[in-house]
Amino acid sequence: MYTAAGRINKESNTTVHEYMPLVNKIAHLLAAKLSSAVDVQDLIQAGMIGLMDAASRYETKDNAQFSTYAASRIRGAMIDELRANDWVPRNVRKDQSKLDSAMRKASQIAGRSATDAQVAAVLGLEIDEYQKFLFNARGSSILFAGSFSSSDDEEDFSLLENEADDSQAANPTARMTEMELRRAVVQAIEDLPTREKMLMSLHYEHEMNFREISTILGVNETRISQMHTSAISRVRVALQSEDQISDRHNMDEEN
């Protein structure tokens, strides 16, 4: 068997076959949290490339379990596939960018996390119009971050939406280290309004779908989708702010 890195040996080939179920599991978990437009088979194919790459590169001296190392490579390959195909519709990206801008401005005016009514006011929308806007702006989450605990377990991951533009300048986490990102995401989620924080925990940490969460929170699935879009936007805005602070800190150190 061959990979981009070259030929992998018989032992690695056996490892690949042994961990194929992990590729399938990660692909379905990822697809369940994304849009129906995502083809699970495409994710599986990308994940297999990541698994073969992991099998060819892994060394026991790295002091990490292969399952953990492989899971990271598999998810990374799947995320690269999603980004390469740029599958989020342009109008959704535009709405997400508009929402982030309004969320940021409303929070600055309020001096704290903005309410739906405050964000709606910035957008010039009535509250019912704003809720429709949130539903239409719903996107999908393609940025990996182990955000609900400090565990290195290969199954401990959550997903957060990326910026519309994948360029480093527009990506609020492009220059952040993995550890900085983990801490920033944890804090951003901790700062969410109570019900949005609960939603994020139920959906990403406990892997519950919107229907199940709607039963727990006592609202319909549409409202859960709206709350999710709002929560993701708040986290994106927080990560942007964190990244800017990190940049200023790095500049100060250089000077």
pLDDT reported for residue 68: 87
Q: Give the least confident one: 33-42, 51-60, 244-253.
A: 244-253
Q: Residue 139: pLDDT above 80?
A: no
Q: Residue 56 pLDDT more than 60?
A: yes
For the record, the structure tokens of 126 come out as 């009535």
* Residues 6 or more apart in contact with residue 88 via CB below 8 angstroms: 35, 139, 140, 164
Angle at 86 between CA 85 and CA 89, to 5 degrees: 130
The encoded tokens of residue 133 equal 């806007």
Dist. CA 55–CA 227, nearest whole Å:
40
Domain covering 90-254 in this structure, CATH number: 1.20.140
231 pLDDT above the threshold of 50 = yes
pLDDT tens-digit map of 153-210 = 434 444 444 433 334 434 444 445 656 777 788 888 889 999 999 998 888 778 788 9
Q: Which CATH class is domain 2-85?
A: mainly alpha
Query: d(Cα 124, Cα 194) in Å, to the nearest integer?
Result: 25
pLDDT on residue 11: 60
Please name the residue ranges forming H helices in the chain: 10-18, 20-32, 40-57, 66-85, 90-110, 116-123, 127-136, 178-190, 194-200, 210-217, 221-254
User: What separation, in Å, do the N-terminal and C-terminal C-alpha atoms of the chain show?
Assistant: 50
5-36: per-residue pLDDT in tens? 444 455 666 778 889 999 999 988 887 776 55
Least confident piece of the model among 41-45, 79-83, 160-164, 231-235:
160-164
Residue 86 CA to residue 89 CA, distance in Å, equals: 8
Question: So where are the chain's domains?
Answer: 2-85, 90-254
Task: Specify the residue for token string 């139920």.
Answer: 202
> What number is the average pLDDT over the span 32-42?
72
Q: Mind listing the pLDDT tens digit for each residue in 85-130?
A: 666 677 887 888 899 999 999 999 999 889 999 999 999 999 999 9
- Confidence at residue 143, expressed as pLDDT on a 0 to 100 scale: 45
Q: Which residue has the higher pLDDT, 132 or 142?
A: 132
Helix (H) or strand (E) holding 145, with range, is strand 143-145
Nearest CA to 228 among 209, 215, 254? 209
Find the angle CA(231)-CA(233)-CA(239) to the nearest 5 degrees: 105
pLDDT, residue 203, reads 84
